[in-house]
Amino acid sequence: MASHIVGYPRMGPKRELKFALESFWDKKSSAEDLQKVAADLRSSIWKQMAAAGIKYIPSNTFSYYDQVLDATSILGAVPPRYGWNGGEIGFDTYFSMARGNASVPAMEMTKWFDTNYHFIVPELGPDVNFSYASHKAVDEYKEAKALGVDTIPVLIGPVSYLLLSKPAKGVEKTFSLLSLLPKILPIYKEVIAELKAAGALWIQFDEPTLVLDLDAHQLQAFTAAYAELETTLSGLNVLIETYFADLTAEAYKTLTELKGVTAYGLDLVRGTQTIELIKSNFPKGKYLFAGVVDGRNIWANDLASSLSTLQALEAVVGKDKLVVSTSCSLLHTAVDLVNETKLDDEIKSWLAFAAQKVVEVNALAKALAGQKDEAFFTANASAQASRKSSPRVTNEAVQKAAAALKGSDHRRATNVTARLDAQQKKLNLPVLPTTTIGSFPQTLELRRVRREFKANKISEDDYVKAIKEEIKKVVDLQEELDIDVLVHGEPERNDMVEYFGEQLSGFAFTVNGWVQSYGSRCVKPPIIYGDVSRPKPMTVFWSSTAQSMTKRPMKGMLTGPVTILNWSFVRNDQPRFETCYQIALAIKDEVEDLEKAGINVIQIDEAALREGLPLRKSEHAFYQKWAVHSFRITNCGVQDTTQIHTHMCYSNFNDIIHSIIDMDADVITIENSRSDEKLLSVFREGVKYGAGIGPGVYDIHSPRIPSTEEIADRINKMLAVLETNILWVNPDCGLKTRKYAEVKPALSNMVAAAKLLRTQLASAK
């Protein structure tokens, strides 16, 4: 019985690629140095999978930034502003598209389906001249083969690539991206021909958009694309991989009737209903790559349950046609549990990271083939039983409090217009008030202080003194820049979710459980294993300390319950909304303590609210109801004069704008600049928004410093669709990933732009 892995984490067990990328970007190392680190990581991954007994090992799942940008490079779809003149795309052009450069901004970045991973959105139009401009897929296949590992090269499928793209600036929004299919398929044919010539026997096309709500025209594009590729694919085994949700009956029919396709990869963790489609009608002679090992979470697989599912499927598709696989790429999970030295043994026994999931996949494949490792299965069954019965998982008081929430919608008593009036009387802010999103640059010295405190190398007194000094530096800088509503810069926090999880019950933490978010940005999601509560205040001391350093309003900075949920590895033994309500109650306690401590502006970030939106429209309403309710729970008890902010970052917000309004926050700051001000189109189309709103005026994920004139132009575009008295001026997101040499001039220009517009507005009266 064969086994398969859809994809594998790229960063390395100790984030080796992250550090190599940042060293290269900072011009401290060469391209050759970066390529050497990357080659070593790829070699290690391939050899590890081969040693574990995996038959179908992927290649070309490694990326220096993201796999969609890699596909853009293969197709030579470089926007003209980057000055690329043809030939093989190098690092300069590649990273300029991803991060921008001194003269031009980066391409738009958005979330990869409903994950916390991001991708660079292709910008396409009728005039794009596609050409075969990156041979990475073929090069990596050959690289693995030279190491003695025969792999399945993986490509983003042509239809999903187009459906994940957007019309370039200046192209009509109604332009049919699928009309470009005849232009990109010749490039795919060139890649396929080279892979065949190099000796490839299989090829994997990732077509995850098949799980979305697609119309007949979109489904027909899959049929047309693979019919066109059929002759070129002749002689290859072709796997079409889907993931993240069920397939509709129509999509399943389209998939299983594609020309020239040998195998179908299906997510049977998040797509359990797809199993019924398989049982009712699976094409004879085709392979099923059954994704029964969860690529999105870190819980050990219930091997007995998975084996039962696989045995039922084996009866349908045939013993020699069933391949055990992961539900999706393991990119979304941590790398290796072996590196976790501080997790206690009980919780550790409940977990499986990427390396362990590879072993689980192979163990299931061997069990199906009659070579069951009884000791491995017995240990797994014991761990499953331990987790179900452990007293540390359940807190009856928390469960009772969360259950009681269902009787109210937890709205503040006064409408937002009246609240904003009361807040303005107290805060006395100018027109177009300026603020930032929360974090300031995390310097090497600051990271050292936190690291040494965690390692007990410095005392608590020394740690508190160092953090206070950093807060004072950030407060003084903001006052010098004349920012209106200040933040303390979050120097005590390495990560916005991890920081809160460490202080809440029901959470566990890893040392090296890093997961890639985008580029070199990695996060270390906490693990929610049990009921959640707040034993004591979490941020009151630092916020009060910061407020004592200034007469200007100081924001209390919290992470909202939906974001904590969506950016954690969440327990899978109860519905997600129940866990979210528990977190909301804990944050509510913190909000009320901040208010009592004299903090008049409190930001409750819901950066990931859009991210958790289910992929199927039929499931949207239920998610939006409990997600928005969770946010309202956190602040329903504060006074009218306490201003509640929230923040959302890189996503497509337009389809949840009514839920954003229903959150009933006083002010929302929201990503806008990198997505070509897509957000503003909602207001142009007539949506009325009465609360304060700060669409980001510049992209913080690029080192580029915007000019005062550029920012003023953005503000003017906002004023064309938003009332002057509700508009705020702020960056897109927090500043922790930037350097002070970039932050100071950018914020200075931002404040100057706001003042320029205030003057113009005053003189126009």
Per the annotation, where are the binding residues? 18, 116, 437-439, 490, 521-522, 567, 605, 647, 649, 658, 662, 671, 733
Phi, psi of 109 (to 5 degrees): -120, 135
Please measure the distance between the N-terminal and C-terminal CA atoms of the chain and give it in whole angstroms. 77
C-beta atoms surrounding 151 within 10 Å: 26
- Radius of gyration of the chain from Cα atoms? 26
Annotated binding residues for 5-methyltetrahydropteroyltri-L-glutamate, as ranges?
A: 18, 116, 521-522, 567
Query: Nearest-CA neighbor of 49 among 2, 82, 84, 17?
Result: 2
Q: What does the block give as tokens for 297?
A: 């979470």
CB under 8 Å to 106, separation ≥6 — which residues? 96, 97, 98, 99, 100, 120, 674, 699, 701, 702, 704
CB 488 within 8 A of CB 557: yes
DSSP state of 508: E
- Distance, in Å, from the CA atom of 506 to the CA atom of 650, rounded to the nearest integer, reads 28
Place of tokens 């005039």: 127
- 663 within 8 A of 632, measured Cβ to Cβ: yes
694/679 Cα distance (integer angstroms): 11
Does the active-site annotation cover 410? Answer: no
Q: Which residues are annotated as a binding site for L-methionine?
A: 437-439, 490, 605
Helix or strand or coil: residue 555? strand
**In the 8-state DSSP scheme, what is residue 198?**
T
The secondary structure of 4-41 as a DSSP string is B-S---SS-TT-HHHHHHHHHHTTSS-HHHHHHHHHHH
Query: What secondary structure does DSSP assign to 437-485, as a single string?
Result: -SB----HHHHHHHHHHHTTSS-HHHHHHHHHHHHHHHHHHHHHHT-SB
184 vs 74: CA distance, rounded Å: 10
Q: From CA 501, how far away is CA 495, in angstroms rounded?
A: 10
Residue recorded with tokens 């929004």 = 173
Report the C-alpha gap between 698 and 704 in whole angstroms. 9
Own/partner contacts of 302-310, CB < 8 Å, gap of 24 or more, are 302/380, 302/384, 303/360, 303/363, 303/364, 303/367, 303/376, 303/377, 303/380, 303/381, 304/377, 304/380, 304/381, 304/384, 306/364, 307/364, 307/367, 307/368, 309/268, 309/275, 310/364, 310/368
Q: By the 8 A CB rule, do 664 and 411 touch?
A: yes
Q: Are 106 and 674 in contact (CB under 8 A)?
A: yes
**Is-contact 574 532, C-beta < 8 A?**
no
* Residue 164 CA: distances (Å) to CA of 112, 113, 159: 9, 10, 9
Q: CA nearest 98: which of 125, 126, 130, 122?
A: 122
CA dist 328 and 109 (Å) reads: 21
Q: Which amino acid is at 239?
A: L
Residues in the chain: 765
Structure tokens at 522: 């990695």
Amino acid at 654: N
Cα gap 84→306, rounded to integer Å: 49
Could you give the 3-state DSSP secondary structure of residue 694? strand
Which residue, 309, 301, 306, 307, is CA-closest to 369? 307
**Which among 60, 25, 222 has a CA at the least distance from the CA of 140?**
60
Burial class (CB in 10 A: 0-12, 13-18, 19+), 748: middle
Among the listed residues 4, 410, 645, 701, the single catalytic one is 701
The values of phi and psi at residue 152, to 5°, are -100, 110
Contacts of 347 (CB under 8 A, 6+ apart): 508, 527, 529
Q: How far apart are CA 643 and CA 18, in angstroms?
A: 38
Q: Cite the active site residues.
A: 701
